[in-house]
Every structure is written in structure tokens, then in C-alpha cells.
A = this chain, B = another copy of it.
Amino acid sequence: MSTVILTLRRGEDGSAVLALPLVLRTRDPYADQWALPGGWLTAAESPVDAAARTLAETTGLSPSYLEQLYAFGAVDRSPTRVVSIVYWALLRQDDVTAQIAAHRASGRAPENVRWFDVDELPELAFDHSRIIDYALWRLRNKVGYSRVAQGFLPEEFTLAELREAYESILGRQLDPANFRRQVEAAGNLIPTDRFRTGSHRPARLYRDNTDVELADRGPLGPEETSTR
């Protein structure tokens, strides 16, 4: 049971980049290599609960989105053949930065956990590199027909911030004018009467319209997906 935990991190050049936490393995196989955080199913919990639990154990946070990715079980995956259910999750940008700041302040950061930008990943244990590729592919796909991208953002956000999230995920620039019209037409946003001020013309703040179903999981729906 592993999880690809994604968030948007602000790089030193000011642009947003996808990042994920990895854990350094302490025992064989693949000792001293980086791997996806994970754990084992206990008898009393469902896989999605176990994913949320291990996510909390490694990051101290609860995800804004959590969905099953795939069940891997090829015999050549690992010396001892293992079937692993992999999940993928999104964390809110502000949750992550707050948590990292708290760790720095308390001096009690979790050992053996490090955040990597997705374009600067180290060599990974098992087939975890391919799994991350698949998770990123799923995210890029899903962002086209679902409002998952809002899982990266705080409660209230501007359209420019949302567009930046889309651009980081998709890896290309989007036209601000057309982007605005598309997300407005999709009905995923509720405009507030508050504005982000500070530079140039103030930008209206929006928040997630939770009335609109994610509507992309089919009959599985909310039971198997965790949203916040």
C-alpha cells in the first residue's frame, strides 16, 4: 500500500512546481533508496483508510483529494512478490507550507522524509518511478474534466492562482481570458465578494463549489474517494 502524494510548491524562481514526499528506505530490499510512502493494511481498515493513515503518518496532514491509482502485482516487481494497492492524493499548498514551517520551528521534522520536485526525482526503489509517471498522467488527464486542481489551493483563491495550478500540472501556458470563461462555465467556482489586493488591479477571490459532484468516478463515487 503506497501513495503518490502531490502538492504544488513555489520554486525559488517564483513559479509553481509539482512536488511529492519520498521516504528513505532503511532496510532491504532497496535499502538507502528513496521510495513512495506506504505501509501495510491492518485487518480493521479499508485500503483507502490505510492510505489516509500512512499519508498522515508521513506528512502529518490530511489530503484534499484521495483516489485509488492502480493495483500493482507483477511477479518481477520485487524479490518477494507483493501485490500493492497504490493511491494518489493531493495536498493543499498552504497546509504543506504551514506544516513545514511548524516542523522547522519545533525542530522535530520527520526523519527520512524529503520533498522532491517531480522533475528532479532521484533514483527510486521498486517500480515507483513508473508509478509516479502514471499518477502524473492521471492528474493531467483528470484536470481536463474535473475540478481536482482546486485540491491544491486554499479555501479562497484567485483565478490567476487556479490558472497557475493548471499550468503547472499541464506544463503549458493557458490564455487567461479563455481560462476564465471555461472555469466560469463549468460551474465549479463560487465567486466571493472579497478581493486579493496588493498589486495592480484587485482580483476577485473564488471558492470551491462543493455542490457540484466530482462526477468522474462513476458508480464508485464518494465511498471510495475521499474529499475535503
Contact residues of A with B, CB < 8 Å? Answer: 41, 43-47, 68, 70-71, 73-75, 81, 83, 85, 130, 133-134, 137-138, 141, 218-220, 223-224
Q: Chain B residue with minimal CB distance to A73?
A: B47
> Could you say which residues of chain B place their CB within 8 Å of the CB of A74?
46, 223
Interchain nearest-CB distance for A98 vs B (Å): 32
Contacting pair B44 A75 (CB below 8 A): yes
Given A46-B75, A75-B44, decide whether A220 and B134 contact each other with a Cβ distance below 8 A: yes
Verify A218–B83 contact, CB threshold 8 A: no
A220 to B86 alpha-carbon distance, docked (Å)? 13
In whole angstroms, what is the CA distance A134 to B43 when docked? 26
B71 lies within 8 A of A47 (CB): yes
On whether the beta carbons of A133 and B219 are closer than 8 Å, the reply is: yes
Contact between A70 and B73, CB atoms less than 8 A apart: no
Contacts of A133 in B (CB 8 A): 218-219
Q: How far is the CB of A41 from chain B (nearest CB, A)?
A: 7
How far is the CB of A67 from the nearest CB of chain B, in Å? Answer: 11
In the assembly, what is the distance between CA of A223 and CA of B133, in Å? 15
Tell which of B44, B45, B71, B220 touches A85, judged by Cβ atoms closer than 8 Å.
B71
Most buried by B among A41, A83, A138: A83
A sample of 13 more A-B contacts (CB under 8 A), given A133-B218, A134-B219, is A43-B81, A45-B75, A46-B73, A46-B74, A46-B75, A47-B71, A47-B73, A68-B71, A83-B83, A133-B219, A134-B218, A134-B220, A137-B218
From residue A23, how far is it (CB to closest CB) to chain B in Å?
A: 22
Bound-complex Cα distance A43 to B83 (A): 11
> What residues on B are CB-neighbors of A73 within 8 Å?
41, 46-47, 85
